[in-house]
Amino acid sequence: MSLLRLAWRNVLRQKRRTALLSLVVVYVTVAVLFMFGFLDGYGESLVEAYAEYVEAPVVVAREVWWQDPDPENGFRELPAVAHPLVQAATPRLSLYALLRSPYRMQGGVVLGVDPQGEKVLSRVPFRVGEGRWLQGPGEVVLGHRLAERLDVRVGERLVVETGKEALGLLVVGLVRSGVGNVDFGGVYLHLEDARKLSGGRVGATYLALKVPRGKEEGVAKALNQVLPEGLRAKAVWELMGPIRADYEGSRLFYVPLLGLFMLLAAVAVVSTTYVSVRERLREFAVAESLGLSPARLAGQVALEAALASGLGLLAGLLLGYALLGYTSTHDVFGPLMRLSVELLPEAGLSEHLYTSSRPIYALYASLLVAVSALLALLFPGRLVLRLDPSRYVKGE
């Protein structure tokens, strides 16, 4: 009988112990899959919010503007940007301003845009929940939560002051995007109005580029090789600011924690195997007397631990991927994210978060089986290697 068949028969013979070991592995496997799926889903949610709503996939600006985002450091003339993966480009002019309604006033960042160009690059024009998107100068579109704070409605006028100029603009639309930065602070007006408010000497503060998803960093690096001196392109990850550090910190914290979690589960499997081996030392002594070498018996112990863990792994993968499949299509975390947006309206968080599901998670979780088998070979297996068959055969 092969070693594998012998180990499998022993795993089936000790059903209660095998079930206990498998449950531990199922629990850890589901936890590993869900944690990686949640972290990746959170990262994708951030990238989508910043690339499609708050910023852009790639932004090109003058080096001095990156260091000091004063409109005076913007473009007098727009640069020519050429790359095969750039699908669209539109100028934007951002500047700090005071927003004054008939009842309240508040400071903020206003964004001058080309209304048609913005439709190609951003999802904001398609998230206008009340009224309409910009059509020409003299109009402004606000995030709906900002409009509530200013106590202003569609059809009313809003004064925008910058210290150099002031304009009275007609509120034509309110945006309901589900992204904190946009709903709580979005102020969109025509590029011509933004140029007037900046003093008229600046054409745009930066150029927003649309590139395929996942190609942002590569395009930014390629552009930085060919852009004229004094210009720099940044990909969406560089535009996130502190929220990127928060995300990367969470990942650095959870990955070692999951590794420790898996190690503890492997120790639980091995400790149970150790007890099982001690109870079966007479059985091993008889097998060794019949001709099985100590090394093969130690390998059998490791195989039993690996098979019991493997059963748990299979069940855990089925359960874990089913859970990821459900949470990647249903907005289970919506209430939690809406609370986060309320608490951190300027972090760029989205009100919706869907988990990610990738095949590589199965490889991460399968490491638990490998570690369990290795530890079983090192510890319960050593009991078998040091076994004195004559002592146990005699029943001493």
The answer to whether residues 99 and 141 touch, using CB atoms and an 8 Å cutoff, is no
Give bridge partners of residue 143 from the DSSP assignment: 175
Burial class, 129, CB count within 10 angstroms (exposed 0-12 / middle 13-18 / buried 19+) = exposed
DSSP state of 75: B
First to last CA, the chain: 29
pLDDT given at position 194: 95
C-alpha closest to that of 194 among 122, 88, 86, 90:
90
The answer to whether residues 135 and 111 touch, using CB atoms and an 8 Å cutoff, is no
The span from the CA of 33 to the CA of 209, in Å, is: 35
Q: Where are the domains of the chain?
A: 3-51+243-386, 58-210
The angle subtended at Cα 356 by Cα 178 and Cα 269, nearest 5°, is: 135
- CA atoms lying within 13 Å on the CB side of residue 313: 22
Which whole-number Å values give the CA distances from 202 to 31, 68, 75, 87, in the listed order? 53, 15, 6, 25
Q: What is the CA radius of gyration of the chain?
A: 31
**Total-model pTM:** 0.80
Give bridge partners of residue 96 from the DSSP assignment: 109
pLDDT given at position 50: 92
| Backbone φ and ψ of 390, nearest 5° | -60, -35
The span from the CA of 321 to the CA of 312, in Å, is: 14
Q: Which amino acid is at 226?
A: V
Helices (H), 14-150: 15-49, 63-67, 115-121, 144-150
The span from the CA of 149 to the CA of 153, in Å, is: 11
DSSP state of 225: H
Helix (H, G, I), strand (E, B) or coil at 315: helix
pLDDT given at position 371: 80
Give the pair of three-digit tokens for residue 226: 């060919």
Give the pair of three-digit tokens for residue 83: 């790359």
pLDDT given at position 251: 78
For 80, residues 6+ apart whose C-beta sits below 8 A from its C-beta are none
pLDDT along the chain (396 residues), means of 10: 75 79 84 90 91 94 94 90 92 94 89 95 95 95 95 94 91 94 94 92 93 93 92 93 81 80 78 77 76 78 81 92 94 86 79 90 84 73 70 59
C-alpha closest to that of 56 among 110, 124, 6:
124
303-324 residue pLDDT tens: 887 888 888 889 999 999 999 9
The span from the CA of 202 to the CA of 154, in Å, is: 29
CA dihedral 55, 56, 57, 58 (to 10 degrees): -100
pLDDT given at position 37: 93
pLDDT given at position 393: 58
pLDDT given at position 392: 61
Burial class, 382, CB count within 10 angstroms (exposed 0-12 / middle 13-18 / buried 19+) = middle
Give the pair of three-digit tokens for residue 283: 């059985």
146-191 residue pLDDT tens: 999 999 999 999 999 998 889 999 999 999 999 988 999 999 999 9
